Chains A and B, each alone.
Chain A
Amino acid sequence: MTNSTESIQAAQADLPAATAGSRLDPWVSAYASRASSMTASEIRSLFAVASRPEVVSLAGGMPYVSALPLDEMADTIASMIRERGATALQYGSGQGDPVLREQITEVMAEVGIHAHPDDIVVTTGSQMALDLVVRVFCDPGDVVLVESPSYVGALGVFRAYECNVVHVAMDEQGLNPVALEETIKRLQVEGKKIKMIYTIPSYHNPAGITQGPDRRKDILSIAKSNGILILEDDPYGLLGFDGVVPRAIRADDADGVVYLGSFSKTIASGLRVGWALAPHGVREKLVLAAESAILCPSNYAQFTVSTYLATKPWRDQVAVFRDVYRERRDALLDTMKVLMPAGTTWTVPTGGFYSWVTLPEGMDSRAMLPRAVNALVAYVPGTGFYVDGQGRQSLRLSYCYPTPERIKEGVRRLASVVEQELELIATFGPDALPHTEMPNFSSTPAPDVR
């Protein structure tokens, strides 16, 4: 398994000449240091199996786009191409199509935001908007405060820009303001530069928690009094199961919040259309950063979204999605209630895609994953949602993609896996759990199973 220098020298002592070695990658010494954690990962290989139909994947966060009227979508796209094809297939504005930006203001009005189309930058999914914001704000070492746990895709961006990510505790109402203030004070005393608070206030990924109105006000107040930007990520805001749409933090502060929105969950993730709403000065920089990254967002995708919004009852379709996801959430929670071993707890999401499960004391969800994949069920271990090794005892379950029957079967399998793991711990003791390595770029599933 290993080569000690001493043994190599001894066994190779009578060699006439050294043979040149190969690393199978001629550029290995040329990579930036930030690429050092971009390695093959055992855990990533396990997710490859999750794409097989035999496996119930409660890992992926893929929207259930089959609930869309696909024939109507086809007609929408066909007519759009017939009527505006020459423009749709051409380069466009770096900031995004003006008509779509106007429509986005209407969509954001649903979460209480009244904004001007000039302050919107259309991006290739809100993931790109997140990347642009961090690019224009963060130098290596700058602090970004994130929830505990936080969205894995955001952590990847912060890591890519070499930010110092600091987790702040959550409670049943989301980001905890007391913990937030304490963390800010501590970091300020340490002389750290805090650049932003990244938060997902509605139907949090992965925690499944929603901040109440007072909680949002408290967080905004803390951010303002400390002069820290809030980066509000709101892809699930319209997917509340009780039909109530939480008011965005940005609705109450146009200057201190950059708001990220997306059509991935309300229309289709494959279109890759999202946006950032930012104060004037920030927006100017985001546009320039966007042009240097991709020149312009896809006109084809933007026009598809724009035509859909203009000609289809998109609010009704969002209601269809809500109903689909509510039924699936119920299937997940009801089955967990019956089958999961004692000591297992979970959040009860009132919207969105995820429930955050905490396993019985002493368990490690990452160590358990190979056993789960053997049993044909997949989830995302909690450690993927932290940068500091927390989350061993937790895991994220997603209910958005599998049918209710498959979800029930998945929970049946998972419960049995947890039972077996508990047996193993009973045999070897809780201290026997394998050391969990720090998560890296490849510690979570690829987007098509994420």
Chain B
Amino acid sequence: MYIVVLAGGLSHERDISERSGRRVADALRDRGHEVEVLDTDAQLLTRLQNKRPDCVIPMLHGAAGEDGTLREVLEALKLPYVGSAPDACRVAFDKAIAKSIVESAGIAVPAGVSLPHSTFRELGADAVMQAVIAHVGLPAIVKPARGGSSLGVTVVREASALPSAMVAAFAYGDVAIVEQFIEGIEVAVSVVHTVVGPSALPAVEIQPDGGVYDYTARYTAGVTEFFCPARLSDSVSELVAQTAITTHLALNLRDLSRSDIIVDRNGGVWFLEVNVAPGMTETSLFPQSLAAADSDLGEIFDTLVHLAVSRGG
């Protein structure tokens, strides 16, 4: 098949997207497909219309890639593509909205608020921050409402650190989330959704050397220790897998997703956020889960491409 992998884009995660895209493209070439990696520039639509690929794989991270915008365009072009539909992406990409839907499905989520900069400006930053802390408690985690790769994310342990965490998050977008920070084991659970239904891959347990799984810990090989499958009891493992599948279904996601989850000290499972275009780089979590399941990128994407083609454009 002739497949186009979309990678790059204008988001802050461009570099990661390019790396993910190249890895997926190589894996599919190894399986005999003709694969081209294209950036999202002014020539893209013309090229897609002229070449009419059998399938498109959006490997774009961040806005446009994950907020459903580009997938709307692929729908309009009637091109089959791997991944969730635009509406589902739009919901999943907004962390606050996704959390409320997942909570409605019976999954525990950290208490939190989602606020634009204008709220702080209009109501007074000090008063709003006091109210936020009273509601969320400390420690808290502050992050941009949209975006990934831990960009603009800060753990706040004292109230005095909240203003700078807010400023760091607002540097990446107009809306920031402040939520309860759950201490525990961080795991990532990838879901692959084929004709037989969604199934969870082995969970990856994440132990960054510096204690925080920030951008450096994510993309520097060696500074984070991963355990896959995660060192969890059978019952907690099952709970974690079920949480990821429930999330995937509740958000009406398709083909693949990755849920970030915390297991607290009592074995309680908390949903943090979901990713509709999980990273596929050398240090990313999804490929590690595949390896633990005796699979690989080529096999899974080959399956998902065939699925997308059978759905049609």
Task: Give residues in A with beta carbon < 8 Å to B.
Answer: 1-4, 6-8, 10-12, 14-15, 18-25, 27-28, 31, 39-42, 44-46, 48-49, 52-55, 367-371, 373-374, 376, 423-429, 431-435
**Minimum CB distance partner of B260 in chain A:** A1
User: How far is B264's CA from A3's CA once the two chains are assembled, in angstroms?
Assistant: 9
Is the pair B220, A39 in contact by a Cβ cutoff of 8 Å? yes
Is the pair A434, B216 in contact by a Cβ cutoff of 8 Å? no
Give B214 Cβ to nearest chain A Cβ, in Å. 8
Is B294 in contact with chain A by the CB < 8 A criterion? no
Contact of A434 among B121, B165, B218 (CB under 8 A): B165
Which of A3, A39, A432, A433 has the most chain B CB atoms closer than 10 A to its own CB? A3
If A1-B181, A8-B185, A40-B220 touch, whether A367 touches B264 (CB-CB below 8 Å) is no
User: How far is B121's CA from A1's CA once the two chains are assembled, in angstroms?
Assistant: 29
User: How far is B233's CA from A10's CA once the two chains are assembled, in angstroms?
Assistant: 11
Extra pairs beyond A44-B15, A423-B121, A424-B170 (11, CB < 8 Å): A3-B186, A10-B266, A11-B236, A11-B267, A12-B185, A21-B226, A24-B226, A46-B12, A373-B12, A428-B120, A435-B164
User: B128-154, CB under 8 A of A: which get 1 and which 0?
Assistant: 000000000000010000000101111
Which chain A residues lie closer than 8 Å to B11 at the CB level?
49
If A19-B227, A428-B125, A432-B167 touch, whether A42 touches B151 (CB-CB below 8 Å) is yes
Is the pair B141, A1 in contact by a Cβ cutoff of 8 Å? yes
Is B228 in contact with chain A by the CB < 8 A criterion? yes
Can you list 5 A-B contacts with CB-CB less than 8 angstroms, sorted by A residue number? A2-B186, A10-B266, A11-B184, A46-B12, A424-B117
Which chain B residues lie closer than 8 Å to A434 at the CB level?
154, 164-165, 167-168, 171
Is the pair A433, B167 in contact by a Cβ cutoff of 8 Å? yes
Task: Give residues in B with beta carbon < 8 Å to A.
Answer: 8, 10-16, 18, 39, 41, 117, 120-121, 125, 141, 149, 151-155, 163-168, 170-173, 181, 183-186, 206-208, 211-216, 218-233, 236, 263-267, 282-283, 288
Which of A10, A19, A427 has the most chain B CB atoms closer than 10 A to its own CB? A427
Is the pair A367, B121 in contact by a Cβ cutoff of 8 Å? no
Is the pair B223, A39 in contact by a Cβ cutoff of 8 Å? yes
Contact of B231 among A19, A40, A54, A368 (CB under 8 A): A19
Is the pair A28, B221 in contact by a Cβ cutoff of 8 Å? yes
Which chain B residues lie closer than 8 Å to A371 at the CB level?
171-172
Is the pair B121, A427 in contact by a Cβ cutoff of 8 Å? yes
User: How far is B15's CA from A45's CA once the two chains are assembled, in angstroms?
Assistant: 6
Is the pair B282, A24 in contact by a Cβ cutoff of 8 Å? yes
Is the pair A370, B152 in contact by a Cβ cutoff of 8 Å? yes
If A22-B228, A42-B215 touch, whether A2 touches B221 (CB-CB below 8 Å) is no
Is the pair B167, A367 in contact by a Cβ cutoff of 8 Å? yes
Is the pair A45, B16 in contact by a Cβ cutoff of 8 Å? yes
**Minimum CB distance partner of B170 in chain A:** A424
**Minimum CB distance partner of A39 in chain B:** B220
Is the pair A1, B186 in contact by a Cβ cutoff of 8 Å? yes
Which chain A residues lie closer than 8 Å to B171 at the CB level?
367-371, 434
**Minimum CB distance partner of A53 in chain B:** B41
Give A9 Cβ to nearest chain B Cβ, in Å. 9
Which chain B residues lie closer than 8 Å to A48 at the CB level?
14-15, 18
Is the pair B221, A23 in contact by a Cβ cutoff of 8 Å? yes
Which chain A residues lie closer than 8 Å to B226 at the CB level?
21-24
Which chain B residues lie closer than 8 Å to A46 at the CB level?
12
Contact of A40 among B208, B216, B233, B288 (CB under 8 A): B216
Which chain A residues lie closer than 8 Å to B14 at the CB level?
45, 48-49, 52
Is the pair A3, B185 in contact by a Cβ cutoff of 8 Å? yes
**Minimum CB distance partner of B236 in chain A:** A11
Give B172 Cβ to nearest chain A Cβ, in Å. 5
Which chain A residues lie closer than 8 Å to B225 at the CB level?
21-23
Contact of A15 among B172, B213, B232 (CB under 8 A): B232
If A1-B155, A24-B221 touch, whether A431 touches B163 (CB-CB below 8 Å) is yes
Which chain B residues lie closer than 8 Å to A3 at the CB level?
184-186, 206-207, 211
User: How far is B220's CA from A374's CA once the two chains are assembled, in angstroms?
Assistant: 24
Which chain A residues lie closer than 8 Å to B211 at the CB level?
2-3
Give B78 Cβ to nearest chain A Cβ, in Å. 27
User: How far is B221's CA from A25's CA once the two chains are assembled, in angstroms?
Assistant: 6
Is the pair B216, A42 in contact by a Cβ cutoff of 8 Å? yes
Which chain B residues lie closer than 8 Å to A25 at the CB level?
221-222
Which chain B residues lie closer than 8 Å to A2 at the CB level?
155, 183, 186, 208, 211-213
Which chain A residues lie closer than 8 Å to B231 at the CB level?
8, 12, 15, 18-19
Is the pair A52, B12 in contact by a Cβ cutoff of 8 Å? no
Is the pair A428, B167 in contact by a Cβ cutoff of 8 Å? yes
**Minimum CB distance partner of B18 in chain A:** A48
Which chain A residues lie closer than 8 Å to B149 at the CB level?
45
Contact of B10 among A4, A49, A423, A433 (CB under 8 A): A49
Give B296 Cβ to nearest chain A Cβ, in Å. 15
User: How far is B260's CA from A32's CA once the two chains are assembled, in angstroms?
Assistant: 34
User: How far is B41's CA from A1's CA once the two chains are assembled, in angstroms?
Assistant: 35
Is the pair B155, A23 in contact by a Cβ cutoff of 8 Å? no
Which chain B residues lie closer than 8 Å to A18 at the CB level?
231
User: How far is B164's CA from A435's CA once the two chains are assembled, in angstroms?
Assistant: 8
Contact of A370 among B121, B151, B153, B264 (CB under 8 A): B151
Give A202 Cβ to nearest chain B Cβ, in Å. 34
Is the pair A433, B212 in contact by a Cβ cutoff of 8 Å? no
Give A442 Cβ to nearest chain B Cβ, in Å. 9
Contact of A7 among B117, B141, B183, B282 (CB under 8 A): B183
Give B181 Cβ to nearest chain A Cβ, in Å. 7
**Minimum CB distance partner of A50 in chain B:** B14
Is the pair A429, B163 in contact by a Cβ cutoff of 8 Å? yes
Which chain B residues lie closer than 8 Å to A433 at the CB level?
164, 167
User: How far is B221's CA from A27's CA once the two chains are assembled, in angstroms?
Assistant: 10
User: How far is B297's CA from A31's CA once the two chains are assembled, in angstroms?
Assistant: 29
Contact of A23 among B151, B224, B228, B266 (CB under 8 A): B224
Which chain A residues lie closer than 8 Å to B39 at the CB level?
52
Which chain A residues lie closer than 8 Å to B283 at the CB level?
24
Is the pair B215, A10 in contact by a Cβ cutoff of 8 Å? no
User: How far is B167's CA from A25's CA once the two chains are assembled, in angstroms?
Assistant: 34
Is the pair A424, B267 in contact by a Cβ cutoff of 8 Å? no
User: How far is B41's CA from A450's CA once the two chains are assembled, in angstroms?
Assistant: 23
Which chain B residues lie closer than 8 Å to A7 at the CB level?
183-185, 264-265
User: How far is B160's CA from A93's CA once the two chains are assembled, in angstroms?
Assistant: 62
Is the pair B167, A424 in contact by a Cβ cutoff of 8 Å? yes
